[in-house]
Amino acid sequence: MPFVVTKVTEKPALRYIKTGRLVPGDDGYVRVIRDGTGEIGIVHKTDLLLVLGGLGNEEFRMSESGNRVIFRDNSGQEFSMLTRQIRGLLEDWPKKKAALWVVG
């Protein structure tokens, strides 16, 4: 009996463009900085811990796969951050940074 593929779906290639970073700030806050524009948001690190635990809010939420945290700024544009980098930022506070990406 031969092996038959009945349906093949092609996924479009995603391109991630680095557009900024998350930088540890004062008093446990994380500054969301976009290259060329400046600071576009600020969040407390406990809010990031809640997002990593599955409790999102208006600005931050987890992706369906759990590999990315999605940030929405005031204009409605969405940015992605790798969960692994956010964990590193929180564990090695205040030495590490995390990258900010746009899916293009």
Q: How far is CA 50 from its chain centroid?
A: 14
Q: Determine the distance from the C-alpha atom of residue 73 to the mean position of all C-alpha atoms in its chain, rounded to a whole number.
A: 12
Q: Please, what sign has the CA dihedral across residues 88, 92, 96, 100?
A: positive
Residue 58 DSSP class: S
pTM: 0.80
Beta strand spans in 1-104 (E): 16-24, 29-34, 38-44, 60-62, 68-72, 78-82, 98-103
Q: How many domains does the chain have?
A: 1
* Residue among 24, 17, 15 at smallest CA distance from 85: 24
Residue ranges making up the domain that contains 81: 16-103
| 15, two tokens | 């391109």
- Give residue 4's pLDDT: 64
Residue 20's pLDDT is what? 94
pLDDT value, residue 2: 65
Whether 11 is in a domain gets the answer no
Question: Does residue 94 form part of some domain?
Answer: yes
Whole-number pLDDT of residue 10: 76
* Residue 10 placed within a domain: no
Going residue by residue through the chain, which has 104 residues, state the pLDDT in tens, using 9 for 90 and above: 566 666 667 777 778 899 999 999 889 999 999 999 899 999 999 999 999 998 888 888 998 888 999 999 888 899 999 999 999 999 999 999 999 999 87
Cα angle for residues 33, 39, 45 (degrees, 5° grid): 70
Amino acid letter, residue 66: G
Domain annotation covers residue 63: yes
Within-domain flag for 3: no
